[in-house]
Amino acid sequence: MQYYFTTYALLPLCTAVVTALLSYETWRRRSDPASPPFVALTLLVSIWSLGNAFELSSRDVATAFFWVRVEYVSIVGVPVAWLLMMLAFSERRRALSRPWLISLLLVPLI
């Protein structure tokens, strides 16, 4: 795996660092019920951005394809984490029963 630095990769790399720091700070103050889904959301966005930065810095197609697959894992999890965060933030977490939650988490695995 060979990489070269491009200025195009700088913005996703900065985004990954900022969202990882935001996730860490939120985890330290996790007394709010919406904090755990927000931590999951920011971690997924951080992985997505980091994968994008490495994809843009890849020299060969195989390496870029590896990072695209890493990005895909986090991309499909973002809507689920976003929904869970919004339900927790609006205090409607009980609206999502266990079967619905399991089915929502199975969709990204497919």
Closest CA to 3 of 66, 54, 61: 54
Residue 108 confidence (pLDDT): 72
Alpha-carbon distance of 104 to 83, in angstroms, equals 10
Residue 66 confidence (pLDDT): 93
Residue 89 confidence (pLDDT): 83
- Ordered per-residue pLDDT tens for the chain, 110 residues: 777 788 888 999 999 999 999 999 999 988 887 888 899 999 999 999 999 999 999 999 999 999 999 999 899 999 988 988 888 888 776 777 777 777 777 877 77
Closest CA to 67 of 85, 80, 49, 84: 49
Contact present, 97 and 88 (Cβ < 8 Å): no
Residue 104 confidence (pLDDT): 76
CA torsion, ordered 19, 24, 28, 32, to nearest 10 deg: 30
> What pTM did the predictor assign?
0.85
Residue 93 confidence (pLDDT): 67
Alpha-carbon distance of 49 to 15, in angstroms, equals 6
